[in-house]
């Protein structure tokens, strides 16, 4: 049983990312969407936490949400894969269930 977690909050405003990471088990995945994408960027205070998370989780970020916020893919932390909405659908299908940290 594995979970696709989604986080849609900026980690600089809300604690959803921390809560999600504290409960995400090895082998599950995290997709950052909406304002959650700010956790996927290099050179932020969250970078090391995300790098640690990438040791046990598959990390994804929604490309259209990055682009909308003026963030080029080059700014995304290595180990975080950029996907589009079709990719989001594929992930939701590939994992057994989806947990939205709204």
Partner 1 sequence: MSEEDMMDDEIVKKFMFVNRRAPYGSIYALESLEVVLIAAAFDQDVSLVFSDDGVFQLKKEQDTAGIGMKNFSPTYRALEMYDVEKLYVSKTSMDQRGLTKDDLIVEVEVLGDEALADLMDDQDVIFSF
Partner 2 sequence: MKFAIQVNEGPYQHQAADSAYQFTKAALEKGHEIFRVFFYHDGVNNATKLTTPPQDDRNIVNRWSELAEQHNLDLVVCVAAAQRRGIVDEGEAKRNGKDAENIAPGFRISGLGQLVEAGIQADRLVVFGD
By the criterion CB under 8 A, which residues form the site for partner 1? 1-3, 15, 19, 22-25, 28, 97-102
Q: Residue 41 has what DSSP assignment?
A: B
Handedness of CA 24, 20, 59, 6 (dihedral sign): positive
* Residues in 14-43 that interact with partner 2 by CB under 8 A: 33-35
Distance CA 47, CA 53 (A): 10
Using rule CB under 8 A, residue 102 touches partner 2: yes
Query: Which of partner 1, partner 2, none sits in contact with 8, Cβ below 5 to 8 A by type?
Result: partner 2
How many angstroms separate the Cα of 73 from the Cα of each of 13, 29, 52, 82, 101? 22, 19, 20, 8, 24
Using rule CB under 8 A, residue 88 touches partner 2: yes
Using rule CB under 8 A, residue 98 touches partner 2: yes
Q: Residue 14 has what DSSP assignment?
A: -
Query: Which of partner 1, partner 2, none sits in contact with 23, Cβ below 5 to 8 A by type?
Result: partner 1
Residues interacting with partner 2, by CB under 8 A?
8, 33-35, 64, 84-86, 88-90, 92-93, 97-98, 100, 102
């Amino acid at each position: 049983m594995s979970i696709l977690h989604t986080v849609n909050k900026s980690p600089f405003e809300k604690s959803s990312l921390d809560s999600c990471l504290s409960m995400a088990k090895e082998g599950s995945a995290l997709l950052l969407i909406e304002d959650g994408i700010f956790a996927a960027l290099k050179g932020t205070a969250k970078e090391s936490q995300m790098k640690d998370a990438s040791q046990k989780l598959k990390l994804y970020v929604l490309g259209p949400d990055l682009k909308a916020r003026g963030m080029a893919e080059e700014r995304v932390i290595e180990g975080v894969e950029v996907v589009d909405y079709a990719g989001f659908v594929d992930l939701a299908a590939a994992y057994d269930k989806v947990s939205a940290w709204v």
